[in-house]
A = this chain, B = another copy of it.
Amino acid sequence: MTATSTHETEIVADPKVPLVRIIREFDAPPEKVFRAHTDPELIVQWLGPRDLTMTIDHFDCRSGGSYRYLHRRGDEEYGFNGCFHEVRPSELIVQTFTFEGYPDSVALERMVFEDLGNGRTRIVATSLVDSFEGRDAFVASGMETGVREGYERLDELLAR
Interface residue tally on A, bucketed by range: 20 to 34
Interface of A is mostly: strand
Known: A63-B66, A94-B106, A128-B130. 14 other contacts (CB 8 A): A17-B130, A17-B131, A17-B132, A83-B83, A83-B85, A85-B106, A86-B103, A86-B106, A96-B96, A96-B108, A108-B130, A110-B130, A126-B130, A128-B128
19 contacts between A and B (CB under 8 A): A17-B17, A19-B130, A64-B65, A64-B81, A65-B66, A65-B83, A83-B96, A85-B96, A85-B98, A86-B103, A86-B106, A94-B106, A96-B96, A106-B110, A108-B108, A108-B128, A108-B130, A110-B130, A128-B128
